[in-house]
A and B are shown apart, each in its own frame.
Chain A
Amino acid sequence: MSQAAVAEHDLGIEPAESPLTPESWGKLGMWVFLAADAMSFGGLLAGYGALRYGDPTWPVPKDILGVQLTAFMTFLLICSSVTMVEALAAIRQGDQRGLRRFLMLTVMGGMTFLGLQAFEWTKLILHEGQSIARNNFGATFFILTGFHGCHVFGGVTYLSAVLGRSVRGVVGAIVTAAVAVACTLGLIVVTSATLSGFVAVIAAAAGAGVVYLVATLLAGGTPVYSAHNNNEVEIAALYWHFVDLIWILVFTFVYLI
């Protein structure tokens, strides 16, 4: 045992690294959270399958749901995963502006997804007569996609907080996250009221632009993240990729099969 380890042991301090754990305890914590969250989605998907199997009244999903629109939403989330890895790659090179721009693009992808989901839900409820209480199809569809939508909403807020924190610490994180929440709620309301996918895309671009502008206005002082200190960005990226991964499964099981 090294002298430093002996000293830590004597002081009762847990060592920061061990052969069994990754170099970041935060990363390990996020993975444990994601594993628990995956079980929630697994339970919902298994319940969906058990209710659907052998039910002759179950509608053919592609006859009711807009598969083309949802395929575009899947493409959007895949693109946002790429912008997220680019944000991490940028800060690993010490590129602060690249980090902010790619985070903004990722937030824009998430907001657009939520806007299009609001459009889809409004159309299904008002035009197709679907509801959570109508039948098992409606119940499982709205719970599964709604639960995932809540995760996207959380991800947009989380990434906006990381964007704010990158320029102005904790205060920046709180202000930027609050702005992101307000913009996202606004875009959901506007999209539902106008029932237009085009409005959803424009409102998402505007919302992400406002978040970026606020972060830019808050910028000043020493940046929090650097080429040597970017674990928090990587941990946030893990969450966002998980949201993308789960949507890949939801898209297949709920919309395609």
Chain B
Amino acid sequence: MTVHTPEQLAHEQRRYLQVFAWLVVLTAVELAVIYPPISPLAKGLMLVVLAATKAALVALFFMHLAVEKRTLAYIALTPAILCVLLVFALLPDLGAFTRALTHATPVAAEAHE
């Protein structure tokens, strides 16, 4: 069991408050980004980067991944990598629901004709 010295604890608490301030600021920036009339792609990219930064701050400092053994970082990274792969796996299906709505005639039926 790791025992923390008072100096370490004081340092950690200062770090927690800094992270808290950053999280609040980044949330405010997110809210500021959604209203200006900029392209949806740029807006989406900015929001994803901001959200990823906030999530990383929570994981690294509140969940102590920055100072934990690497085993835990590998465990934490595994679902993130798998989720990115899942998004790529779904790429062929993107917009499939919309296509089904807009093209009433089934492709298979046309092929038979």
Q: In the complex, are the beta carbons of B6 and A93 less than 8 A apart?
A: yes
**Smallest Cβ distance from B62 to chain A, in angstroms?**
4
- B interface residues, Cβ below 8 angstroms from A: 1-4, 6, 9, 12-13, 16-17, 20, 23-24, 27, 30-31, 33-34, 43-44, 47-48, 50-51, 54-55, 58-59, 62-63, 68-69, 71-72, 75-76, 78-80, 82-83, 86-87, 90, 93-98, 101
Alpha-carbon gap, A42 to B81, bound state (A): 10
Separation of A51 and B93 alpha carbons in the complex (Å): 9
Report whether A42 and B75 are in contact in the complex, using a CB–CB cutoff of 8 Å.
no
Interface contact B72-A22, CB-CB below 8 Å: yes
Stretch from A4-12, A77-85, A169-177 at the B interface: A77-85
Q: Give the interface size class of chain A.
A: 35 or more
Residues of chain B within 8 A (CB-CB) of A257 are: 43-44, 47-48
Query: Smallest distance from the beta carbon of A46 to chain B beta carbons, Å?
Result: 5
Instruction: Verify A53–B71 contact, CB threshold 8 A.
Output: no
CB distance A78 to B9 under 8 Å? no
Q: Contacts A231-B1, A252-B47: A39 and B82 contacting too (C-beta < 8 A)?
A: yes
A 112-131 contacts with B by CB, 8 A: none
5 A-B pairs (CB sep. < 8 Å) = A32-B75, A35-B79, A39-B79, A81-B62, A241-B59
CA distance A51 to B94 in the complex (A): 7
How many A-B residue pairs lie within 8 Å, measured between CB atoms? Answer: 136
Question: Which chain B positions have C-beta within 8 A of A194?
Answer: none
Chain B residues, Cβ within 8 Å of A71: 27, 31
Task: Answer whether A228 and B62 are a contact pair too, CB < 8 Å, given A55-B97, A55-B98, A92-B9.
Answer: no
Residues of A contacting B55 in the complex (Cβ-Cβ under 8 angstroms): 245, 248-249
- Residues of A contacting B30 in the complex (Cβ-Cβ under 8 angstroms): 252, 256
Q: Does the CB pair B83–A46 fall under 8 Å?
A: yes
Contacting pair B72 A82 (CB below 8 A): no
Nearest CB to that of B23 among chain A residues? A78
Cβ B59 vs Cβ A245 within 8 A: yes
> Closest approach, in angstroms, between the C-beta of A239 and any C-beta of chain B?
10
Closest chain-A Cβ to B47's Cβ sits at a distance in Å of 5
